[in-house]
Each structure stands twice: as structure tokens, then as C-alpha cells.
Amino acid sequence: EKGGFEHFMLKEIYEQPKAVADTIHPRIKDGKIVIEELGLSDEDIRKISRIQMVACGSAYHVCAAAKYVLEKLSGIPVDIDLASEFRYRNPILSEHTLVVIVSQSGETADSLAALRESKKRGFPVLGIVNVVGSSIAREADSVFYTWAGPEISVATTKAYSTQLAAIYLIGILFGEVRECISREEADHYIQELLKLPEKIQRILDEKERIQWLANKFSHTKDVFFIGRGLDYAISMEGSLKLKEISYIHSEAYAAGELKHGTISLVENGVLVVGVATQQELFEKEISNLVEVKSRGASVLGLTSYGSYSMEDTADFTIYVPRTESCFATSLAVIPLQLLAYYISVARGLDVDKPRNLAKSVTVE
Ligand code: F6R
């Protein structure tokens, strides 16, 4: 059942190249992105004035990344909300807002309630869902299925990766229709998208180094994941993954925000994971890593091949292949999933079924 893997989580981590390819390929026809299931004409896409994204947990972290990606590719302003907040805050939605609910299970109570609230107010709802025929899939006006296949491990991995892929496809499609990006640019993005599965595989092939780092840091008590821009979005996911299955206290911070309070927690023995895949923010991120290092933290840098100056500051560095900066989240998440996984294994914990958690949260 686990296909020779020790845990479902590791099996699902390894299924990511295929899951991402399966999500992308059916939506590319003759070199163009075609997503008929959205049920949106070019005219409809041009009319969208705002995108409101709503989700919980890791799916919300996809929304956090999507804000950067969709705004950059499509030029449409994107608001994001936790479903448990959105449903009770009387959100002000302007005309021509597209509501997007992201959910692996399609059964999360708060996400479903947010969907119903949006529909009641007359806004079209797009569901990005993995489980076919689930409640959110049935009730949304249109559904983009992520073809990740069944996900058993409580901690999501492949569903998260396919949700990101869905965002890229929608971003490129909307961007081209709205002329925010040219045909040539769209083509370039599509080519880069198609290379992601193979790049994810390359990271998986280097898992021994992550395993080694996981063993080294398995007794750490406090971990901070810091990044800027998309690297902040990925930090949130890396932090949740770690705390969820290793029970180590961890937090994600926008790197520039640390000095507004949280840096007082940084001392000897604290691990700071510095994510720096975004070229234009690299030097800023490094200066934050210098600050935490001078206060005694161990620094684990996560960046792209070529950015070797990370080693001047970080105690250890993990490299991922280069890609378009707005797709970097898909690569940076892989070592963070592996890190959480191997730390949980090193601590002898129940990786697939962490305490107090259920795979699908159908209560409020
Ligand atoms: C974390 C995790 C959860 C889910 C969240 C939403 O690894 O899996 O945070 O992402 O409970 O679940 P779905 O996507 O089913 O709505």
C-alpha cells in the first residue's frame, strides 16, 4: 500500500513530480493554456476586478503564494483570507470579484461555509479541489481539479504542490487574456512550468543531505523560518509542516518584520531557516540572516544554485534548481517537506498521524 516507502508522507512526497505533471499537462493544448472547466470566457476573465481567495492551513499558504503570483502574472488584485475569519467578518466584495476556495479534501467546514456565504451574496465561486465529488466541488460554480490522487498522510504534500500548479496555470491564462503578459512571455512561462516535475525529481534525488541535516537539528527547540515575498509564503508552509509532525515549536516570519519584536527570542540554540529564492530580495534576506546569526542562531540557508554567497552567512546551505522566480515556491517546498519528515522520523513520532489532528477538518 505504501509502495515500499516507510510512510505515506514519504510516498506522497515522491509522487510530486507525477502529480504536478498530471495537473499541468491536460491544461496545455497546442502550446496554450486551456482550462475549460473554469467556465469563463475571455470576456469574463477580462471583467474580473478582484480575486478573493479563501482556505485553511496549507491550502491557505497556497493562497499566500498565489497573491504574489496572480498579481504579477494577471495584474488582478488578490485578497486572501483564512476561511474561519472570512465567514464571520462580513467581507466587502466588489462587483466582478471571483471567489476562489482552495481545498484538498473539499470537506473543510470553514472553507465550505465561506463558499456558501460567497454564493449567497451572488459571487461566482471557483473551487480548487483534489477530491472528486466532494462537497466544495459539488457546490462551487466551477471546479479546477488538482490531479494529485488520494492523499493519506495528514500532513499535505502533493496536494499542496498541485494547488500551486493550478495557480500558475490560472495566472498565465488570465495574464495572457488580459494582456498583462505577451504571448512570448506566456510561452516562456509554460516552458518553465513543464520543467518543474523534473526539477522536483532532482531535489528528491538529493534527499540524503536533507536527511543528514534533519538528524543534526532533530533536538532543536525553536525554529524560525524567514523569507521575503514568495519566500515568506513558503516559510509559512515549511514552518507548519515542521511543527505539525515534529512537535518542535516553529514560526514563520517575513524577514523584515523580525526586528519589530520577535528577534528578542533569537539566542544560542535557535535555528533560523532562511529562504532566499527571490533574486531581487536576496541581499535584503542575507542582511536579516546576518542579524540573527550575530545573536547566536544557527542559520540554514535555502536558495537556488548559483547564489553561492549564501555560504558566507549560513552555517549550512541547501540548493534547489533555478526556475522562474514566481514558480520557486514549488521547488523550495520540497526540501522543507523532507526536513520536517526526517526530523519527525528521527524523533520517533507517528509521521502520518500526528497527535490531535485529522486529515479532514469537518468541524468548525
Ligand atoms: C497541513 C494540512 C492542513 C490542511 C487544512 C485544509 O499539512 O494538511 O493544514 O491544509 O486542514 O485542508 P483542506 O485542503 O482539505 O481544506
- Rounded to two decimals, the ipTM of the complex is 0.98
Out of 32, 72, 293, 359, pick the active-site residue.
359
The Cα-based distances of 216 to 124, 210, 300, 342, 346 in angstroms read 49, 10, 11, 10, 10
Ligand 1: nearest atom to the Cα of 155: 7
Q: Is 55 helix (H, G, I), strand (E, B) or coil?
A: strand
Nearest protein CA to atom 10 of ligand 1, as residue? 58
DSSP one-letter string for 254-301 = EGGGGGGTGGGG--TT-EEEEEE--GGGHHHHHHHHHHHHHTT-EEEE
Question: How far, in Å, CA of 188 to CA of 315, rounded?
Answer: 35
Determine if the pTM surpasses 0.90: yes
Q: Which helix or strand (DSSP H or E) is residue 111 part of? A: helix 109-120
Question: How far, in Å, CA of 258 to CA of 252, rounded?
Answer: 10
The reply to whether ligand 1 has any atom less than 6 angstroms from the CB of 361 is yes
Question: How far, in Å, CA of 258 to CA of 291, rounded?
Answer: 10
The Cα-based distances of 148 to 158, 250, 294 in angstroms read 6, 27, 42
Report how far ligand 1's centroid is from the alpha carbon of 334 (Å): 17
The reply to whether ligand 1 has any atom less than 6 angstroms from the CB of 360 is yes
Choice from 58, 134, 250 to test ligand 1 binding pocket (greatest atom count within 8 A of CB): 58
**Helices 57-74 & 230-246 angle (0-180, nearest 10):** 170
- Neighbouring-strand partners of residue 254: 227
Tens digit of each residue's pLDDT (9 = 90 or more) over 43-77: 999 999 999 999 999 999 999 999 999 999 999 99
The reply to whether ligand 1 has any atom less than 6 angstroms from the CB of 127 is no
Report how far ligand 1's centroid is from the alpha carbon of 12 (Å): 15
The reply to whether ligand 1 has any atom less than 6 angstroms from the CB of 156 is yes
Contact between 169 and 27 (Cβ < 8 Å)? yes
DSSP one-letter string for 177-196 = HTTSS-HHHHHHHHHHHHHH
Nearest protein CA to atom 11 of ligand 1, as residue? 57
- The reported pLDDT for the residue numbered 359 is 86
Beta-carbon contacts of 165 under 8 Å, excluding residues fewer than 6 positions away, are 20, 23, 24, 146, 193, 196, 330
Percent of the chain at pLDDT exceeding 70: 100
Beta-carbon contacts of 166 under 8 Å, excluding residues fewer than 6 positions away, are 23, 128, 144, 146
Cα 340 to chain centroid distance, Å, stands at 15
The reply to whether 199 belongs to the active site is no
DSSP 230: H
Burial class (CB within 10 angstroms; exposed 0-12, middle 13-18, buried 19+) of 87: buried
Ligand 1: nearest atom to the Cα of 160: 10
- The reported pLDDT for the residue numbered 325 is 97
Ligand 1: nearest atom to the Cα of 61: 10
Question: How far, in Å, CA of 263 to CA of 265, rounded?
Answer: 5
Report how far ligand 1's centroid is from the alpha carbon of 153 (Å): 11
Question: How far, in Å, CA of 229 to CA of 42, rounded?
Answer: 29
Report how far ligand 1's centroid is from the alpha carbon of 280 (Å): 31
End-to-end CA distance of the chain: 32
Residues with pLDDT less than 70, the chain: none
Choice from 139, 237, 361 to test ligand 1 binding pocket (greatest atom count within 8 A of CB): 361
Q: Is 45 helix (H, G, I), strand (E, B) or coil?
A: helix
Residue 65's region, left for phi above 0, alpha for psi from -120 to 50, else beta, is alpha
Ligand 1: nearest atom to the Cα of 105: 15
Choice from 53, 62, 103, 104 to test ligand 1 binding pocket (greatest atom count within 8 A of CB): 104
- The reported pLDDT for the residue numbered 290 is 98
Q: Is 98 helix (H, G, I), strand (E, B) or coil?
A: strand
- The reported pLDDT for the residue numbered 124 is 95
